[in-house]
Chains A and B, each alone.
Chain A
């Protein structure tokens, strides 16, 4: 690490002693990094390790407190994004920086128009885009409005933006977080094509598999420092994971085989049409028994959210829900007065929602207030007509202790905790109420490895206590590690059910794309609904 550039060819990017502090927090400390030209370089680290700060410095968002940046062997000061762009650095952010109601062309030329009038720039960009599409498998309809594009295509627009600005160095921040496995594969082919053309690519990710699959070199960051830079071929996922957290991590969850008992949740032919009349669920049937975890795999947006919301008691406004759902044998109302989240809680349904910042927490409220939500009318939290805030605070403090929420200060607003600790607050609130059925959506999205491990252990412990768990996650690794059975959702249907030990990510990936083993065409390419209903509902 921190090597001088080879005399022959200067490195595409070299960082020397970069430091950056935000107040008392040292986000980057004495970072050295050398990225040779024409390579794919992975940067890996936990949330808050300082990867994004480092890249923001490279893209001119922040000025480093100390250190030197060399691009192509030449020391430069990157004062703003314009300088970075001129130096040939392009950035694809995790959250796309696209104008949703602009066309692809308008987004591409924004900021690099050729003159005061748009027309010449637009026609020039149209030609360049065509060329780029042919060169790098980056085809996107230039006249389509961005909000009508799939996430994968929006990402292509971001890459096209960078290439249109003649970027030689492309930085991608967590690019596969929102992609299907097939889209991710396509992205990797694009990146390999770019590398073949001599472009340099920096890939920021927390997915070890991607690092192993596509990078030439990998650097590991931990708590603001660059702790290692190695050739990918000379390392292993286990070693990288250890470097990231500074200790050995169990990538596989340690659990005993499930001992399922009586069914807790029985869902029969659940359908849902949203307010616009779009069919979101097309006949979902599933059972979850006490003492088992049913994992629902699938690309987000295939009805998982709707399923969780209906089971959680708050279907989307104006939605029409049909079918039969029973909990411990008694029917759960799917609409009307009995269908509300409060009643569900009293019926023994816990819910860790998919988006903790929107549904799980009120970000500006304190941790103790958040811990009381949903249970604010519980007798132990009330004294007559008034809330017993002291009791709530004591309870919150105890929960934070047991779930190792840091900092252990229940007076802090939820916003001021890191993603992992926010999630621990939600998990603590739901699990500690000992629900018969726990609904979990994306339990570890945006959560660092240490917290993931902890949350996974809690989920397994709840299962072992004989509770039923429905786990929805877009992370296949997570589904495979936790679930006792895996169901795959696609387009509002269960495409099939598998046992985690007897399937592969490849097989699940095909199901997630709507392809069953009996039929190798995607369902969206034309399996009529009546046929799809007859698809095998699992061989398990």
Chain B
């Protein structure tokens, strides 16, 4: 982590602490909301990380999440089980991943075009099938009971609820989230460990930097890249399922609302590294939470209109993509299909 990144981190954490001191209850509510809102971003960001670290650019995170949200909500509604919904979400997302893999690995097509196509495909298919199946204008019926992932109270949360500092943080923030939030956060150290401590991670990073080195070492570039794309599909599937069955109660047309692209921006912000991805997505989650909590933020001198607050995550995305966070060097073989040279 360099100085610039550390400064941004300190600034953001400082804002959180300041907020907590100024208005404890609001901060608890806001940061808790930020954790929930960042969960799909984090999962999609890590999905992109696996895929892009292996050299396959994935602009279709959005579409995969959307497809997963739809299949998850539909199956959860029909079966009444959030878990079956999750499985269906992963399945829907994996199917799109397979298309992306076929187009960009097997047929050596353009990865950006394939990703865009996946986004369009998901956007159209979800509404079309949804309207045909449920007749609600592309929505799925609202989920209730076991059709949704409910909050989990962690052991000891009630016991420490009244302890100052620890109570609000442990009982109010950490405890009481749905299982998928914990899964998302656990994926960060797991991803780091897989990437830097395992054989698979070494090969994955190598194939995104110089696939020829992997090929000449006698390892299949195709198999590695398919594996990475499949992992991306699974993570996007969890993200989409969380959107429809955890964060909300059912699928709504275009419910991902650009989260896949924000996750991509966060991935660039994080320079394709897992811990930085956690931080970057937290920043986006926090902005979204603040916008939800204070639609018209009164700074004393001026009142910031709600449109501006809602636009903040997108403004930040533009700033990041414009390169204000320093040079982000993507994996060197990213975007290039591997063609064996003579």
Chain A residues within CB distance 8 Å of chain B? 52-53, 56, 59-61, 80-85, 91, 93, 95, 97-102, 106-107, 109-113, 115-119, 121
Contact = CB atoms under 8 A, between A and B. Distances in A.
Nearest to A161: B217
A117 B210 contact: no
B342 interface: yes
B202 A106 contact: yes
Contact of A111 (B196, B201, B218, B342): B218
Contacts of B209: 99-102
B342 A118 contact: no
Contacts of A60: 218
A98 B214 CA distance: 9
A407 to B, nearest CB: 19
Given A61-B340, A111-B219, A99 B213 contact: yes
Contacts of A101: 209, 332
B202 A119 contact: no
Contacts of A99: 205-206, 209-210, 213
Contacts of B217: 81, 85, 97, 110-112
7 contacts: A82-B219, A85-B218, A100-B209, A110-B214, A113-B199, A116-B198, A116-B200
A532 B332 CA distance: 39
B162 interface: no
Nearest to B329: A101
B2 interface: no
A110 B198 contact: no
A56 B213 contact: no
B110 to A, nearest CB: 15
Contacts of A113: 199, 202
Given A61-B340, A81-B218, A100-B332, 5 more contacts: A82-B219, A100-B209, A107-B213, A111-B218, A113-B202
A102 B205 contact: yes
B212 A97 contact: yes
A118 B216 contact: no
Interface of B: 196-203, 205-206, 209-210, 212-219, 332, 340, 342
Contact of A56 (B202, B205, B214, B342): B342
A98 B213 contact: yes
Given A102-B205, A111-B218, A116-B199, A53 B342 contact: yes
Nearest to A116: B199
A178 B198 CA distance: 34
A52 B197 contact: no
B202 A110 contact: yes
Contacts of A97: 210, 212-213, 215-217
Contact of A98 (B203, B210, B342): B210
Contacts of B210: 97-100
A200 B209 CA distance: 31
A419 to B, nearest CB: 13
A100 B216 CA distance: 15
Nearest to B200: A116
Contacts of A95: 212
B264 to A, nearest CB: 22
A112 to B, nearest CB: 7
Given A52-B342, A91-B216, A111-B218, A117 B202 contact: no
A179 B206 CA distance: 26
Given A53-B342, A102-B206, A117-B198, A110 B213 contact: yes
B198 to A, nearest CB: 6
Contact of B218 (A82, A106, A115, A117): A82
B212 to A, nearest CB: 5
Given A56-B342, A99-B209, A118 B215 contact: no
Given A102-B209, A118-B197, A110 B203 contact: yes
B90 to A, nearest CB: 24
A118 B198 contact: yes
Nearest to A27: B342
Nearest to B210: A99
Which of A61, A95, A99 has the most B CB atoms < 10 Å from its CB? A99
Nearest to A107: B213
A106 B201 CA distance: 11
Contacts of A85: 217-218
A53 B341 CA distance: 10
B197 A81 contact: no
A249 B41 CA distance: 66
A119 B218 contact: no
Contacts of B202: 102, 106, 109-110, 113, 118
Nearest to A52: B342
B205 A81 contact: no
A531 to B, nearest CB: 38
A93 B216 contact: yes
Nearest to A114: B199
A56 B216 CA distance: 10
| Shortest beta-carbon contacts, A-B, top 3 | A111-B217, A82-B218, A81-B218
Nearest to A93: B216
A170 to B, nearest CB: 14
A106 to B, nearest CB: 6
A116 B203 CA distance: 11
Which of B196, B197, B218 has the most A CB atoms < 10 Å from its CB? B218
